[in-house]
Amino acid sequence: MECIVGIRFDDFVMIAADANQLMGGLLIAKDDQHKFFNLTSKMVMATIGEAGDMVQFAEYIQKNIHLYKIRNGYEMSPAAAANFTRYNLTKSLRSRSPYAVNMMMGGYDDMEGTSLYHMDYLGAMIKCDYAAFGYGGMLTLSIMDRYKSTTHTREDAYQLMEKCITEIHNRLVINIPNFKVVIIGKNGVEDVSTISAKGLASKNP
C-alpha cells in the first residue's frame, strides 16, 4: 500500500516516496510523512515497511555511516553504503527480530557518477536505472521504460515522475495523495516540490 519510484539519469537521481503513515496497514494516520534519510551529503535512502522497523533500521544505518565519516575523515561511496546496508539487513534475517523494510538508495559519486539501488526486506539488492516498490510501482515501470531515454533535464525528469504518479492516482484504488520528491546530484541532496493528487488534478482538469 506504500510506494517508492526511483529513476537514475547521467547527472542526477530522482526518487519519489509516498507520504502516507499507515496504522495496521489499513488506516492512514497522516499524509505528510517524510520517508527519506540522508546517509551522506550525496546519498539518500527512501524506505517503506513496518513503521517502527523503518525508522529504527534507517536511523541505525544513517548513524553508522556518519560514524564512518568521523572515524575515517571521508564519506562512504554509494556502492559501499549500499553494501553495508544490505549486509546489516541480511544479518537481521538470521536473528529473532528481522526488519520488515524495503528501500531504495540513490547517490552520486565524483568518480562513479550516479547510482540507484533497489533493496527488499530479504536483502536482495540490484543496481538499476529505474525501479519501484508497492502496488503503485507496478503501474509505473512501463512508463519509465518508455520515456526515460527521451528525458534529459531535471524539468523533464519531474514531468516524467508526474506521469508515473498520475497513473497511480488514476488506476490504483488505494488512496496515495502525496508524493515527496528528492534529487541527488553533484551538488548534494535537494528537496523538490511535492507531487499531490490535487495539484495534478488542477493541471489536468
Q: Give tens-digit pLDDT for 56-88.
A: 999 999 999 999 999 999 999 999 999 999 999
- The string of pLDDT tens digits covering residues 98-153 is 999 999 999 999 999 999 999 999 999 999 999 999 888 889 999 999 999 888 89
| Count of domains for the chain | 1
Is pLDDT of 30 > 80? no
Computed on alpha carbons and rounded to an integer, the radius of gyration of the chain in Å comes to 16
| Confidence at 204, pLDDT banded by 50, 70, 90 | low
**Neighbouring residues of 184: CB distance < 8 A, sequence distance ≥ 6:** 12, 13, 14, 15, 42, 43, 44, 106, 107, 108, 114, 190
Question: What is the share, in percent, of the chain residues with pLDDT greater than 90?
Answer: 67
| 5 bridge partner residues | 16, 132
Tell me what the pLDDT averaged over the chain comes to. 90
**Can you give the residue range of the structural domain that contains 112?**
4-203
Specify the pLDDT at position 75: 93
202 three-state secondary structure = helix
Is pLDDT of 172 > 90? no
C-alpha cell at position 10: 547521467
In Å, what is the CA distance from 161 to each residue of 35, 46, 47, 140?
17, 16, 18, 9
CATH number of the domain encompassing residue 104: 3.60.20.10
Is pLDDT of 183 > 90? yes
d(CA 107, CA 115) in angstroms, rounded, equals 5
d(CA 24, CA 150) in angstroms, rounded, equals 40
Record the pTM: 0.91
